[in-house]
Amino acid sequence: MKRYLERFIALVVIVTLSTLGSLVPVQRSAAFTIGEEREVGEKLLFTVRSAFKLVDDPDVTQYINDLGRQALKVTGIQYFDYRFFVINDNEFNAFAAPSGLIFFYAGLISMMNSEDELLSVMAHEIGHISKRHLASRMEKGKIVGIASIGMALAALAFGSGTAAPTLMMGSLAAGQSASLHFSRQDEEEADLLAYGWMQKMGRNPEGQEQMLQTMRRVARYRSERLPQYLLTHPDSEARLSYVQSLLENEQGGATAAPPVDEFEFFRFKYRVMSQTADQASFRTHLTSVITNPRSTAFAVNMAKYGLSQVDRMENNFDSSMSLINEVIAALPQHPELLVDKAVIELAAGQAGQAQRTLEGVLNRDRTNMHAVFTMAKALLQQGKQQEAEKYLKELVVEQPEYPQVYFELGQIAANQGHNGIAAAYLGKHYLYGGKMELARKSFNDAIRDGSTPPELKKECKDLLETVKRVEES
């Protein structure tokens, strides 16, 4: 991990210095422009992918981006196309990067207890980007030296590990400040925007209060080594008081927000935790929920769902299937559970049964990308490559940056003897996985192959330019 962090530091510093150093002279008084921010954001995304493991799961991606789109419907015109990601790391952290990229660490998600809490953090980060607080912080940083901006951007992502102090020491040695923490005014503005947007969505702003209470608890419990989220978003105590005053002013005059069905949130949370958390600790937590006589029926069922995911990850397919069947019987109104059942069937070698289970889901909802991808996998396991290819191409349209879909398409093309097409797909697999050197090699292989269709060769050349921009920055 240390090697990846060091590589990430170097790349982010180089990306920022190259982009900003050539476009924005240190003494220039104009603001950091939207175009510059977009360019930094594009390069930073590939850098993050090369340094960190994302929870690249069609289901997780679809949920968090759908929730983000719901929030953006009430925020008005935005400068950027927002994208939301989950990082496979248990730090209590999140960060908004240039050009509308918002990253949530799995550790932060694990501390949340409602969709409104997740939405409050999401809306807060959108608020910072919408008001261009990050760009403002970066612009002000140029007063003491533009080199510190690259360090500060990298520091946003590092939590409390060894990399952040290294960045800070390097910055201070140069007489610069690498701090990109938001000011009290920035925080209040983002909190106020988030509060208003949640009301417009018909959501309960108390989720914002609850999230800030969690931040305060974490700050007190870990006061000797604060998580990066509490360093870049300071004054959780003051922010909590501010939000509580907003809530108090609304009492008596506001209509209570209707309760939210928390099924999708807890399914998302437990799917993330089953892939990222310590499995023994996660199992102990879920078991305690199930055995606690004060737990609601819903909490018990969702804990059983979480256990089914843990068992599947540990290849305990019989137990996993038994648990998911219990949850399906208790919550039959949620067809997503049938997709989870199909995943277990597929993992247990029952591809035909998984296909039948998924057919029922997809006949009702073709937009479920988790079902689409799992169906493709089930068909591939049965040797039905042409049918699987149709489903994989559907996923490409909806989630064009999902690396695994290109790997599967590349395998199909290779099996069909279309080596140039296979190389192009493999190049995309590596590109969106953050492996630039391998992406460049694969794209060059596709371009050199005489069987590669001309339009695909042109696309590979364009993607090679993307690789070069990232590598040369």
What pLDDT was estimated at residue 8?
45
What pLDDT was estimated at residue 143?
34
What pLDDT was estimated at residue 245?
87
Residue 67 scores a pLDDT above 80 = yes
> To the nearest whole number, what is the mean pLDDT of the chain?
83
What pLDDT was estimated at residue 236?
75
Average pLDDT over residues 114-127: 94
User: What digits encode the pLDDT tens for the residues 385-430?
Assistant: 999 999 999 999 999 999 999 999 999 999 999 999 999 999 999 9
Distance CA 120, CA 212 (A): 9
- Predicted confidence band at 459 (pLDDT cuts at 50, 70, 90)? very high
What are the two backbone dihedrals, phi and then psi, of residue 251, each rounded to the nearest 5 degrees?
Answer: -60, 135
User: What digits encode the pLDDT tens for the residues 201-218?
Assistant: 999 989 999 998 998 888
Residue 97 scores a pLDDT above 70 = yes
What pLDDT was estimated at residue 275?
94
User: What digits encode the pLDDT tens for the residues 269-285?
Assistant: 999 999 999 999 999 99
Residue 254 scores a pLDDT above 80 = no
Query: Bigger pLDDT: 142 or 226?
Result: 226
Average pLDDT over residues 74-79: 89
Residue 11 scores a pLDDT above 60 = no
Residue 33 scores a pLDDT above 90 = no
What pLDDT was estimated at residue 250?
75
The mean-pLDDT minimum among 17-21, 288-292, 418-422, 467-471 falls in 17-21
CB contact set of 156 (below 8 Å; sequence gap of 6+):
95, 97, 180, 228, 232
